[in-house]
Amino acid sequence: MSVEPKAPSFLKRVWSFAVELWGVLIRPSSVFALGVLVLAGFVAGVMFWGAFNTALELTNTEKFCTSCHEMRDNLFSELKSTIHFSNRSGVRATCPDCHVPHNWTDKIARKMQASKEVWGHLFGFIDTREKFMDKRLELALHEWARFKANDSLECRNCHSADSMDVTKQSPRAAVAHERYLFTGEKTCIDCHKGIAHHLPDMRGVPGWQ
């Protein structure tokens, strides 16, 4: 590395540091044993992965979701009156149970999509009730399309068609499930829209008036 007599500019110093670092990185280590490097890499990897997953799971909680007023005032408050929040056995669904896939790759894909929601929050896409109501149909359509595409996976994480005992259902429900669910003709979201949140203006939505 040549050292110039004059004090180099900041950019030049950054550049020469980067070149020097690259030079170190592409040469074999002359100080550390291979075992130390492998072990250190492994430990660092575990720590990075742990931190990454912890942070990921932190964003996968109801507390995190409802820390934004858009979610708390509009959607969470609507959930509270439904059977998915309060029921006889006390089993309840939190936001990510329905809106985030459990499978890791799908989860990451959903999380990447959700970065747009952060953008929307920062720039106030739905920061008032009126804006939210105007956008409500569009947002709901996205979510219905997602459920339709993955065959209502998040519903089925808890509600298994195989474990469904239609003899314990009301006659109406039993007939509908036997005719449409068990045959695979329809998926949960086709009929069960608006079970956890209020419905948007449903004019034009298939199956609605």
Partner 1 sequence: MIKHLKIALLVAAIAAATGTLAAESLTSDLRGSTPLNDEGPAAPMAPTRNTSEHETRNYPEQPPVIPHSIDGYQIDLRSNKCLSCHARARTGESQAPMVSITHFMDRDGQFLASVSPRRFFCTECHVPQSVTNPPVSNDFVDIDTMLSRSAPGGRR
Write out the residues near partner 1 by the rule CB under 8 A.
Answer: 81-83, 170-172, 175-176, 191, 194-195, 198-202, 207-209
Q: Which is nearer to partner 1, 162 or 165 (CB)?
A: 165
Answer yes or no: are the C-beta atoms of 20 and 1 closer than 8 Å.
yes
Burial of 108-119, coded b for 16+ CB within 10 Å and e otherwise, reads eebeeeeeebee
**Cβ distance to partner 1 smaller for residue 60 or 74:** 74
Kindly tell me which of 1 and 91 has the beta carbon lying closer to partner 1.
Answer: 91
- Give the residue with the Cβ less far from partner 1, 51 or 173: 173
| Residue 83 CB partners (closer than 8 Å, separation 6+) | 195
CB of 171 to partner 1, least distance (A): 5
- Sign, CA torsion 177/182/185/187: positive
- Nearest distance, CB of residue 121 and partner 1, angstroms: 24
Structure tokens at 186: 């329809």
> How many Å apart are CA 89 and CA 25, to the nearest integer?
59
Closest CB 185 distance from partner 1, rounded Å: 10
Least CB distance to partner 1 at residue 83 (A): 7
